[in-house]
Structure 1
Amino acid sequence: MKRQTTRRRRSQRPKVLEVRVMSPRIAWFGFLRFAVTAAKIGCVVAALTAAGWGVWRGVQHAFFQNPDFRLRYIDLNENSVIDEIETAEAIGIELAERPNLFDIDVSKAAEKLSARPGICEARVERHLPATLVVRVLPRTPKAWLACLEQDISGERKAGGMLVDVNGVAYPCPALQLESASALPIIILPASDEHSIAV
C-alpha cells in the first residue's frame, strides 16, 4: 500500500507573448512624444540663454558703462620718483578720455610701474566709485656713479646714474634730482667682467 502524501504543485507561469506592432498611428504618437520632449528642452535652453544674456548686459551696464565709475582721481602716495601725470602715462591711461575703472587692469598697471627704473615696488587698486589708488616704493639712492670708459659721466643731473642701497644702478628721475644732489660720486674703472647694468 502506498502512502498518500501531499505534494505541492508547482504553479505554472502564464505564457506571455510580447508583440510589438508598428502602425502609422503609433508612429505618429511616438513622434509627438519626441517633439514635446524636444520642445521642453529647447524652452529650458532658451530661458537659460536669455537669463545669461540678461545678467551679462546687466553687469556691462552696472559696471563697465556706468558713468559713476569713470576715473576722476589718481591717489598717489608722496614719493620722489613719479607724479600723477607720469603715473597715468606709465600705466597707459589717457586722462582726457576718463576711462572706466574696470577697464584698467590693475595688475598690469602695477607691473608697468614696477618696471620703471626708480621704483622698487608698486601697488595699484580700484577704490569705487572713481579713484585709482597707486602706492609706489621708490629706490633710495646712496651715490652717483661715474665711469668715463662706459660713457657714464658723474654729473648730478636728471638721467645721471644713481645706485641704491642694494647696488641697483638706475637713471635719476627728475623729481629725485634735488634730494640726490648732495650724494657722493663713485668713480668706477671700466671692466669687461663687471659692466654697469641698469
Structure 2
Amino acid sequence: MADIHHPIATRHSDASANSSYLEWGPVWAGALVAIAISTVLVQFGASTGLAMGDPIRPDNTVSYNFIIAGLWLLLVSVAASSAAGYISGRMRMTMNDATADEVEFRDGIHGITAWALSTVAVALVASISGSIASAVAAATVTETPELPANLQAWAANQALIVAFATAAGSALGAAAAWFASVSGGKHRDDATSHNVIVPKMFRKR
C-alpha cells in the first residue's frame, strides 16, 4: 500500500532543512505589496482632496484639512501593513522543532520585518520627494506678506500634530502587521481556504 503524505506535513518536513528562521521571500513579497497599496491609496487620496495641503489658506484663514488627511494616512498605514503581515505570515514555511508559541513568534517577526522594509522604503521616497519639492520651491520663491503671529503658531502646531499622527500610524501599522502575520500563519497551518479572506464577489465561479 502506497504511503500517503499530508501536503502540509511534507512541506513542514522539507522546511526543516532550511538553515535560517527568517525567510526573505515572504518578507519581500509582503513589503512590495504594502508599498504598492500605500502608493495607490495615497494617490487616490490626493486626487480626492485628502492630501495634507497648506495649514493656511490663501485668504489667511486656518485650514483643518490636515485632520482628514492625517486620518487617511493612518488608515493607509494600517491597511498596507496588515496586507504585508498576512502575506509574509501565510507564505512562511514552519519548522517541525518549533512549539506553538515559537511558531506564532516567528510568524509575527516576519510580519514586523515586512512592515519595516516597506516603511523604510516609503520614508526614503518621501524624503527624496520632499527634498526635490523644497528645492523647486526655493528656486521659485516669491515675496509673500508675513503671517500674523497666531497663524504662524497654528502652522507650527499643525506640523507637530501631523508628525505625531504619522508616528502613531507607523506604530499601529507595526501592530497590524504582527497580528495579521500571526493570523496568516494560523490560516497556513490550518489549511484555511483563501475564500475566507476573499470577498464573495471576487471569488472564482
Q: Which has the higher strand share?
A: 1
Q: Which has the higher helix share?
A: 2
The structure having more radius of gyration, on CA atoms, is 1
Structure 2 length-normalised TM: 0.21
Task: Tell me: higher relative CO, structure 1 or 2? Use CA pairs within 8 A at least 6 residues apart.
Answer: 2
Structure 1 length-normalised TM: 0.22
